[in-house]
Amino acid sequence: QKEVEQDPGPLSVPEGAIVSLNCTYSNSAFQYFMWYRQYSRKGPELLMYTYSSGNKEDGRFTAQVDKSSKYISLFIRDSQPSDSATYLCAMSARAGGTSYGKLTFGQGTILTVHP
Amino acid sequence: DGGITQSPKYLFRKEGQNVTLSCEQNLNHDAMYWYRQDPGQGLRLIYYSQIVNDFQKGDIAEGYSVSREKKESFPLTVTSAQKNPTAFYLCASSIMGTGWGEAFFGQGTRLTVV
């Protein structure tokens, strides 16, 4: 079983829809949670970064972390065609943990927003 | 401008050859990483380094080697022992310590075996 599981999709939605992307994980030491966006043939860029449980909002993007369920989500409101990309979740452990300093990624979800 | 530079952008390798991918950062980050990306597989960790002259194997280190002689540089060598090297290779860096988490990526090197 992989440490981080992410549904690869693909996911296709109409412009303006609310998009929900999710990851589950098995390592209880994970404490840093990130979402990256990757356009085709480019390096990933950081979208959201959260520490421990809770919600974080940045414009049209909201990241949620539920450590009790080992589940994280990224919501995109009013989705735009420019949001079409691969979305990757990533996690790492707290300092002192065996996985500290190591980023573990999900498979990535391919999202297409059509006009 | 600060960032991570990977070179070359495209690389072709003959079977049996070793090739080295370059990664340089001017962000003063402590940690550097190499990932391999294949279609439908996400990013898989090859090697990572938290400090100069030290590095650890990731999940798929076989057939690869690295060095970390300078804080700014973390080159990856794809050896002839790597049986399926055709892939997109990504280098990243991040700070360590309190507040760590944000990794910055280079634009990648696409390696093709011919």
pLDDT per position as a tens digit, B83-99? 899 999 999 998 875 54
* CB neighbour list of residue B84: distance below 8 Å, 6 or more residues apart: none
Residue by residue, pLDDT tens for chain A (115 residues) are 788 999 888 999 999 999 999 999 998 888 889 999 999 889 999 999 888 788 999 999 999 999 999 999 999 999 999 999 999 999 888 665 555 567 889 999 999 999 9
User: Which pLDDT score is estimated for B103?
Assistant: 83
User: Which pLDDT score is estimated for B95?
Assistant: 81
Q: Is the pLDDT of residue B100 over 90?
A: no
Distance from CA of B95 to the nearest CA of A (A): 9
User: Which pLDDT score is estimated for A8?
Assistant: 80
CB-side neighbour CA atoms (13 Å) of A46 = 18
A42–B101 C-beta distance less than 8 A: no
Best to test chain A binding among B37, B47, B49, B110 (most A CBs inside 10 Å): B37
Taking an 8 Å Cβ-Cβ cutoff, which residues of chain A contact chain B?
A: 6, 8, 32, 34, 36, 41-46, 49, 51, 88, 90, 92, 95, 101-108
At residue B2, what is the residue type? G
pLDDT classification of B112: cutoffs 50, 70, 90 = very high
Residue in chain B lying closest to A39 (CA): B107
User: Which pLDDT score is estimated for B1?
Assistant: 63
Cβ contacts of A36 on chain B, cutoff 8 Å? 105
Q: DSSP characters for A4-25?
A: EEE----EEEETT--EEEEEEE
Q: Write the residue in B42, B103, B107 that is nearest to A106 by C-beta.
A: B42
Cβ contacts of A108 on chain B, cutoff 8 Å? 42-43
Distance from CA of B73 to the nearest CA of A (A): 17
With pLDDT > 90 as the criterion, what percentage of chain B qualifies? 67
SS (H, E, C) B82-107: CCCCCEEEEEEEECCCCCCCCEEECC
Distance from CA of A59 to the nearest CA of B (A): 19
At residue A35, what is the residue type? W
Average pLDDT over chain B, rounded to an integer? 90
User: Which pLDDT score is estimated for A12?
Assistant: 97
Token pair of B87 as six digits: 């892939």
Residue in chain A lying closest to B31 (CA): A101
Cβ contacts of A101 on chain B, cutoff 8 Å? 31, 48, 50, 96, 100
Cβ contacts of A8 on chain B, cutoff 8 Å? 40
